[in-house]
Amino acid sequence: DIQMTQSPSSLSASVGDRVTITCRASQSSSFSLNWYQQKPGTAPKLLITSTSSLQSGVPSRFSGSGSGTDFTLTITNLQPEDFATYYCQQSYAFGQGTKVEIK
């Protein structure tokens, strides 16, 4: 079974900072590597598919990269609305989430 491991589980950052979240898959897969953003009390929002393709309407400060089993979500110039929990996903497996909090 595929498993996704995210790090860190949480981080504190300031507005304007650059933030990097990593996601490691237990095995290489042909499935799309996706990233989601979730704010409290709301459903997740799809940000990125196929490792690096931004969904329509997602700001360009979000970017994704990686290959094989190692993937990264980067947020540059962090904005107040970006404080949320982020999940990676590949096939049926989600990472455990990374909470981005205000420093």
Residues near another protein (CB under 8 A) are 1, 30-32, 34, 36, 38, 42-46, 49, 55, 87, 89-97
Q: Rounded to the nearest whole angstrom, what is the least distance from the CB of residue 46 to another protein in the complex?
A: 5
**Residue 41 CB burial class (10 angstroms; 0-12, 13-18, ≥19):** exposed
Cβ closest to another protein, residue 83 vs residue 94: 94
Cβ closest to another protein, residue 19 vs residue 95: 95
Q: Rounded to the nearest whole angstrom, what is the least distance from the CB of residue 85 to another protein in the complex?
A: 8
